Structure 1
Amino acid sequence: METPEKGLWREVLESKYGSGRQKKPSTWWKDLTKVRMSDQGDNWFNSNMIWKVGAGEKVKFWEDDWLENGQLKGRYERLYNNSELKDKSISSFGTWSTEGWKWNLSWRREWFVWEKTMVEEFMSIISQVLLHQGIEDKRLWNDPPSYSFSVKSAYDKLANHGYGVGLAVFERLWDLKVMPSALFYVWRAFSNRIATKQNLWRRGVARGDTLCVLCGREEETTSHILVSCKESNKVWNMCSRWMGISSVNHNELICHFEQFSCICLNQEGNRLWKSLWVSIVWCIWKHRNRVIFNQAKVDAEEIFTMAQVQWCG
């Protein structure tokens, strides 16, 4: 019932029990709708369905949840409002050539200077998605590697629904006075919703290896690219020397953030250092994107310098 296509079983069910939108749906249908999805599409079942993008002819570019980080319309409202195309599928936002798919977005006006960073981030995210000409878009149950629904996997996901990163971590994060775009990025990183190679591969929207862009040795997970990668670790070591401290850094992202919550004895000092942490993580990611899309060289010293400038600003 989650798929938009008119399949035989869907036609049989709707002919017998109705579509669920009539004034007096059957008791059976009401029970079914309680466990599959709400009208707003924000319950546990819908959140565990994913799109596997093929040629992008069925998936709505702005409105469907086809990337790790949620609907583009909600995350990039300013870009959505400036887009010439609104209610269109992914295939309307580019063209096919002999070299493959090429993104081509049309805007209603030119971007202001202060908006260009957001646009670059946006393009870096969607540019990592590979479309497949002639392949149909599919709606899948998010249970790799089979991506097939089972009662056991549904029970496990329902049992764990609502339990994720502790609220206290997010409260400490949103209390910081740093760039909103940096805070939003870290929030997504804490939820493992940034477009790392591993996440894109897991969602079926990218092909090729999943090796880290910076070191080229290990799988590019969220914690790896931002914390444990040898190149990222150089940045954190520079930070420790600059701060005049000596510590063993944690390899898990949130635990690494919590370390910065205990550097000083006073609350204001800790808030200051946590702001620096956010700046460093944000700059590591932006540098990683420049390496991919602008063929920049990996430079840990440049990353730390940019983080200092952003932090002081």
Structure 2
Amino acid sequence: MGRIRQNEERDWCSEIVNKKLGNGGDTRFWLDIWVGTRPLCQVFPRLFSVSLQTHECINQVGEWRNEEWYWNFKCRRRFFVWEDELLTQLMEVIGEVIFSRFDDSWVCAIGDDGGYTVKDGYRFLSDNFSPVIEVVDSLCRVLKRVWKKLSSIEGHNLLLAIIATMFAYSG
């Protein structure tokens, strides 16, 4: 997703669009990236393999009690002693996360305040993927005259004639 050129290995879309965690209702606990840079199933594969909640959203892996969040992990079996250490590490990773009562949302890093406009998107794509074209002054003057001509009524009529001709020859 997000690749414009075949030889580009960079996934620019995931670089600029991020999930903002709210109540965890639209974010899968193990499979989505919501803490760190990788899904928890990759960071803690052993815990993931014994979980009964592999596809559950965050808000289904815990609950609010008296305005405080409590985790409620369900597993196929009791943890081995060495897996308890993994659970402790997991709790350290997710323990600092602050939830809200608002829905999860997506934010765009190229817009102001996480918002997105077509102008921002166009500017980002142009800056990152458009080839650099050097235009000489004489070409600029010619293009300016052509644009003025096309923006006039005669230019409008000329464009309509060109379009009509294209349709006549295409079918």
Scaled by the length of structure 2, the TM-score of the pair is: 0.59
Equivalent in 21, 24, 27 of residue 59 of structure 1: 27
1:94 aligns with 2:70: no
Structure 1 Cα separation of the partners of residues 46 and 112 of structure 2: 36
Query: What is the deviation of 1:145?
Result: 7.0
1:218-297 alignment, distance < 5 Å: none
Change (3 A) 1:107 1:34: same
Match of 1:74 in 2: 42
Structure 2 Cα separation of the partners of residues 101 and 142 of structure 1: 29
Equivalent in 123, 129, 132 of residue 100 of structure 2: 132
Change (3 A) 1:88 1:113: same
Q: Deviations over 1:97-130 (max 9, x none)?
A: 1132222212222222222222211111111111
Do the aligned residues in 2 keep the contact of 1:96 with 1:102 (CA within 8 Å)? yes
Q: Deviations over 1:72-110 (max 9, x none)?
A: 112211111111111111110001111322222122222
1:105 aligns with 2:63: no
5+ residue gaps, structure 2: 5-9, 130-171
Equivalent in 84, 97, 110 of residue 116 of structure 1: 84
Structure 1 Cα separation of the partners of residues 19 and 2 of structure 2: 21
Structure 1 Cα separation of the partners of residues 15 and 54 of structure 2: 23
Change (3 A) 1:142 1:113: farther
What letter corresponds to residue 78 of structure 2 in structure 1?
E
5+ residue gaps, structure 1: 1-31, 36-41, 160-313
Do the aligned residues in 1 keep the contact of 2:3 with 2:11 (CA within 8 Å)? no
Q: Which has the higher contact order (CA 8 A, sep 6+)?
A: 2
Do the aligned residues in 1 keep the contact of 2:21 with 2:99 (CA within 8 Å)? yes
Equivalent in 103, 114, 120 of residue 147 of structure 1: 114
Query: What is the deviation of 1:153?
Result: 4.9
What letter corresponds to residue 55 of structure 1 in structure 2?
N
Structure 1 or 2, whichever has the larger Rg, is 2
Query: What is the deviation of 1:47?
Result: 3.7
Equivalent pairs counted in the alignment come to: 120
Q: Deviations over 1:190-229 (max 9, x none)?
A: xxxxxxxxxxxxxxxxxxxxxxxxxxxxxxxxxxxxxxxx
SS at 1:74 equivalent = helix
What letter corresponds to residue 58 of structure 2 in structure 1?
I
RMSD: 2.7
Do the aligned residues in 1 keep the contact of 2:2 with 2:14 (CA within 8 Å)? no
Do the aligned residues in 2 keep the contact of 1:103 with 1:127 (CA within 8 Å)? no
Query: What is the deviation of 1:69?
Result: 2.5
Do the aligned residues in 1 keep the contact of 2:62 with 2:70 (CA within 8 Å)? yes
Greater per-residue strand proportion:
2
Q: Deviations over 1:157-204 (max 9, x none)?
A: x58xxxxxxxxxxxxxxxxxxxxxxxxxxxxxxxxxxxxxxxxxxxxx
Change (3 A) 1:33 1:126: closer
What letter corresponds to residue 76 of structure 2 in structure 1?
R
What letter corresponds to residue 25 of structure 2 in structure 1?
E
Percent of aligned positions with the same letter in both sequences? 25
Query: What is the deviation of 1:148?
Result: 3.2
Change (3 A) 1:85 1:146: same
What letter corresponds to residue 91 of structure 2 in structure 1?
M
Change (3 A) 1:45 1:78: same
SS at 1:123 equivalent = helix
SS at 2:29 equivalent = coil
